[in-house]
Amino acid sequence: MTSPRPRFLLTLIHASAALLACACLLLTLWTGLEERGVALAFGVLVTVGELARWTGPQVREAAPLGAAGALSYALLGEDAGNPTAHGVAQVVSVVLAASLVGCVPHIGRGRGPVVDHLGRRVLTVGFAALCFQPLYKQGLFGDWSGPAYALLLIALLTVSVLCDAVLAAALAHSRTGWPFGPLLRDELRAMPGIGSAVCATGAVMALAVAVVGLWALPVFCLPLLLAQVSLRRYAAVRTTYRQTIASLARATEIAGYTPTGHARRVAALSRAVGRDLGLSEPELTVLEYAALMHDIGQLSLVDPVPAGATAGLPTAEQRRIALLGGAVVRQTGVDPSVAVVVERQADPYPEQPVAARIVRAVNAYEEKVRDAGPGGPLTALEELRLGTAGDYAPEVVEALARVLWNQRGGAVGVPPGV
């Protein structure tokens, strides 16, 4: 059961986006559409960008071309040397209509959350247009030219992308209950990558259209499209890499050393606990890989451990298996930091890195709760709490309790904040 505060934040963001969208649509219908050719060109660009969007883990901007086109339209002051007449309401209306059209195939395929994506797009574009269009129409930027004007557009785009990062982190916090600070930190870390490409492309398209007209749009959107293709290929490589690690982790299950699905369950729960403790995305990736491969050292044993339950073994035997596992991981070519976590999962918790503390506690919980009946989760948590004097880190055990509370609707663990 999640706390009401994140849900309130989700409702607030959605309601703000809906109010802004309705107000802009009504005003645009009342006053009419200015410069329909320009509006159509940018609408098509945003639609194409939305059609080309993709979803998946660690995707910070699903539709970079759509974002760049929308922000470029929000900061457009001239078309081939002629001042434009569109305002904030028309910018938001055109971007919203184009985004809705581009999202239709994704809605049909069940890819989402589309509402969050549209809410972010409306609020971010509305903010950018509100910062630029009224002031430009009043002539406050009339004396800005050359590099100064370009820097102005880049500054406004940067602030808009920062606002989008805050919205993305707030929506993720509302959906998952994960700490807001680490989510925002991950969003900001992604900005120098795809965020900078969106800012640069948006600024270049706005400047180019102001000089040469709408023919600049297909020319200057091509580099961002190519960058998006490269990012998709990189994401596919990362997915294949993770699948390879997961296949290696299943070796202990195939050989009969550990129960089926044990490594996958430990990895999923470890990642959730890491999120609760505020680990960054790179740290969560190392944690997940280490959790998947935490039992691989058992392949070196002559006599398998019954049911693969290493948490009940003597400390010296646990450390031996952990060191064997670390040696195996190093031979696979996986990131050495993953091997360090696997090697140190049986050390005293004050000496362990955070990832090793998490893997040790979650693995013990998964082993203790197995085949323990209806009261198994509570009993396993109580045993972990009793072991916080030397075996398990207290903050990890309490984070595990909070995660279980959220996942099971309060049936296991302690209420958040207790």
- Answer whether 197's CB lies under 8 Å from 288's CB: no
What is the per-residue pLDDT for 39?
A: 92
Q: Give pairs for 7-15: CB < 8 Å, separation 24+.
A: 7/174, 9/170, 9/173, 9/174, 10/171, 10/174, 10/175, 13/119, 13/123, 13/167, 13/170, 13/171, 13/174, 14/115, 14/119
Cα distances (Å, whole numbers) of residue 267 to 56, 286, 291, 361: 18, 10, 5, 12
The pLDDT, as a whole number, for residue 143 is 67
Q: In 3D, which of 141, 41, 168 has the Cα closest to residue 94?
A: 41
Q: Report pLDDT for 61.
A: 64
Helix or strand or coil: residue 53? coil
Phi and psi at residue 5, in whole multiples of 5°? -60, -50
pLDDT-derived band at 56, boundaries 50, 70, 90: low
Q: Is the pLDDT of residue 220 over 80?
A: yes
Predicted pLDDT of residue 417: 43
Instruction: Provide mean pLDDT across the span 193-203.
Output: 83
How many Cβ atoms sit within 10 Å of the Cβ of residue 137? 16
Tokens read off for 280: 């960054």
Angle formed by the axes of helices 147-176 and 4-31, to 10°?
A: 130
Please indicate whether residue 62 or residue 205 has the higher confidence score (pLDDT): 205
Position 44 scores a pLDDT of 92
Average pLDDT, the chain: 83
pLDDT in tens, 122-179: 999 999 999 998 888 887 776 677 788 888 888 898 899 899 889 988 888 888 777 8
Residue 264 pLDDT greater than 80, yes or no: yes
Which pLDDT value is given to residue 26? 95
Element housing 299 (H / E): none
In the DSSP assignment, the letter for residue 145 is -
Say which range, 48-52, 288-292, 407-411, has the weakest mean pLDDT: 407-411
Q: How far apart are CA 23 and CA 27, in angstroms?
A: 6
pLDDT beyond 80 at 389: no
- The helix (H) or strand (E) run that includes residue 382 is helix 376-386
Condensed to tens digits (0 to 9), the pLDDT of residues 294-346 reads 888 888 777 777 777 777 788 888 888 888 888 888 888 788 899 899 999 88
pLDDT of residue 409 exceeding 80, the answer is no
As beta bridge partners, residue 82 has 79
180 or 109, higher pLDDT: 180
Phi, then psi, of 268 in degrees rounded to 5? -65, -45
Identify the pLDDT of residue 362: 92
DSSP letter for each residue of 55-90? --TT-S-S-HHHHHHHHHHHT--EETTEEP---HHH
pLDDT, residue 1, reads: 40
| pLDDT score of 58 | 52
Report d(CA 125, CA 309) in Å as an integer: 54
Indicate if the alpha-carbon torsion angle 40, 43, 48, 51 is positive or negative. Answer: negative
Spatial distance between the Cα atoms of 84 and 98, rounded to a whole number of angstroms: 20
Domain edges within the chain: 4-239, 250-407
DSSP calls for 320-366: HHHHHHHHHHHHHT--HHHHHHHHTTTS-GGGS-HHHHHHHHHHHHH
Give the pLDDT of residue 90.
94
User: How large is the average pLDDT for residues 207-220?
Assistant: 87
Is it the case that residue 219 has pLDDT exceeding 90? no
Nearest 5°: CA angle at 356, between 354 and 360?
Answer: 120
Average pLDDT over residues 38-47: 92
| Greater model confidence, 246 or 47 | 47
Q: Which residues contact 342 (CB under 8 A, 6 or more apart)?
A: 290, 293, 294, 296, 297, 322, 325, 326, 329, 359
Q: Which CATH number fits domain 250-407: 1.20.120.450, 3.40.190.10, 1.10.3210.10, 3.40.640.10?
A: 1.10.3210.10
pLDDT at 288: 92
pLDDT category of residue 412 using cuts at 50, 70 and 90: low
Asked if 257 and 304 touch (Cβ cutoff 8 Å), the reply is yes
Q: What is the pLDDT of residues 362-388, one digit of tens each?
A: 998 988 887 666 667 888 888 888 887
Could you give the CA distance from residue 270 to residue 291 in angstroms, rounded to a whole number? 7
Tokens of 414: 């302690």
